[in-house]
Structure 1
Amino acid sequence: MTSTQPIFGRNEEFFTLAQRRNVLFYHKGYFSQNIIAAMGEVVRLQLEVTGIAGPTRRKLFSSFVELAQNIMHYSSEALPPEGTAPGIARAGTVCISVEDGHYLMLCINPMATASVDALHERLEPLRSMTLDQIKQAYRVSLREETPESSKGAGLGFLTMARDASAPLEFDFRPLDDDPGTTLFHLKAII
């Protein structure tokens, strides 16, 4: 069955809704190094065209890269399944929007429920740290060896916490139909 409504009309409606919601960038799907590089160019251009000041643009772009890399390294949903072929892409969602004069960086990705406690323990201290404490923790992490289970010694979360204008917000939501998988939600306000 085909629709008689022109595709452009539907795209126009989506564009209008996105503008009304102040969405600068949104991607739900798979992330790989090549996809992240392409999206990075789109994000960089969108931030420039929007006229966002240089320091804020840098923070937004840096946070975008950290969120996308987090999905690519830690999302539990891979395509193709792990161990079957090189070049795995992993599932997640990233959104950049504007609300009340602040930029919101939102990220969602599935993760193994067994890893939730460890991630919670890494993120929870960031909620109460001062900017100086975050910067100090960042410097310490640069000098430490990267743990085997990590791709960056937690530098991504410290980078986002350093650049954010409010503490990072996060939540873990178990999937009803898959008790081994939990959705990780992260929000940074820049």
Structure 2
Amino acid sequence: MKYIYELHKTMLARNLILVYEGEFTQEITKSVLAMAERNMDSMGEESGIKRKVFNVMVECLQNIVKHSDDFSKQSEQKPTAIFMIGKQDNAYIITSGNPIKNEDVDNLRSKLDQINGLDKEGLKQLYKDIIKSTSLSEKGGAGLGFVDMARKSGNPLEYDFERLDDQYSFFSLRTKIAKE
């Protein structure tokens, strides 16, 4: 039982507003978004900041759902992912993590490095280029969501890959949205 109190202390120390770990479906995603929105409303957050945070949350959660589908089709294991939102003095921190195929790591790293290397105008142009030149599948995959997250946050996307086994790595993503 002591672990509950330890978890509670960790969440308070890190100013975590919401943590969800487990299977992600469209219904669970809607619930997570609704809980976070109610939480920001109760804190009296400005609508402009709420919109940015909500947009980044949607992109993170869609990414998790997309890769959870891939993972569950290829593995006997239940897909497990994590989503957290926290608040610092002047920013919201949105963190997500989910398994992805090892074969996708290099491509994703390349996209994220490209995005992180661009300024505001460069991100705007890349966003337009992707929309114009890419025929998106129903699952996306062109990196548009990551570009949008970088544009909305105004900060680089922090990421990491932890190898799980021969087929999968755990992809962690952290996005900081400054309160203006």
CA contact (8 A) 1:77 1:91 kept: no
Partner of 1:110: 99
Residue by residue, what CA displacement relative to the aligned partner does 1:93-133 show, whole Å, maximum 9, x if unpaired?
11111234221111111111111111111111111100111
SS of 1:129's partner is: coil
Q: Which amino acid aligns with 1:116?
A: V
Q: Which runs of 5+ in 2 are unaligned?
A: none
Q: Aligned-residue CA RMSD in angstroms?
A: 2.6
- Give the number of equivalent residue pairs: 175
Partner of 1:182: 169
Q: 1:61 aligns with which of 43, 50, 54?
A: 54
Q: Which moved more, 1:11-20 or 1:138-147?
A: 11-20
CA contact (8 A) 1:23 1:96 kept: yes
Partner of 2:119: 130
Q: Which runs of 5+ in 1 are unaligned?
A: 84-88
Distance 2:154 2:110 in 1: 22
Partner of 2:20: 27
CA contact (8 A) 1:72 1:91 kept: no
CA contact (8 A) 1:71 1:90 kept: no
Distance 2:30 2:74 in 1: 22
CA contact (8 A) 1:72 1:90 kept: no
Q: 1:43: Cα distance to partner?
A: 1.3
Q: 1:150: Cα distance to partner?
A: 4.9
Taking only the aligned residue pairs, the percentage that are identical comes to 28
Select the structure with the greater relative contact order (CA < 8 A; seq sep ≥ 6).
2
Partner of 2:161: 172
SS of 2:99's partner is: strand
